[in-house]
Amino acid sequence: MKEQDLVDLKFKKQQETAESSGCDKDWYYYTLDIGDICFISGENNDADDWCIEIFDFGSMAIKEKSDAEQMINLVRKNTSV
């Protein structure tokens, strides 16, 4: 999945500074909250090869935009919030 796909899916960019994270440089990732479920991407990278997971449920990684769209639509459809 490309970074623009995350933007198209309405993910929000989360900025992290080197100082606040203890890393060598600033970085960012994306999140999308639907009810109590938080979808989260990995951090930015040079390959522009992104995937998303459900926060704290790392055993599933969605790598294709079409799969992400289906998952997000299912969660939205079945969330009461």
Q: What is the pLDDT of residue 35?
A: 92
| pLDDT confidence band for 58 (50 / 70 / 90) | confident
Indicate the pTM of the whole model.
0.85
The stretch 35-42 carries a mean pLDDT of 93
Residue 66, pLDDT above cutoff 80:
yes
Q: Is the pLDDT of residue 41 over 70?
A: yes
DSSP state of 24: S
Pair 11, 28: CB distance under 8 Å: no
Q: Where are the domains of the chain?
A: 3-77
Which of 55, 15, 50 has the alpha carbon at shortest distance from 35?
55
Mean pLDDT of the chain: 89
- Say what the pLDDT of residue 47 is: 65
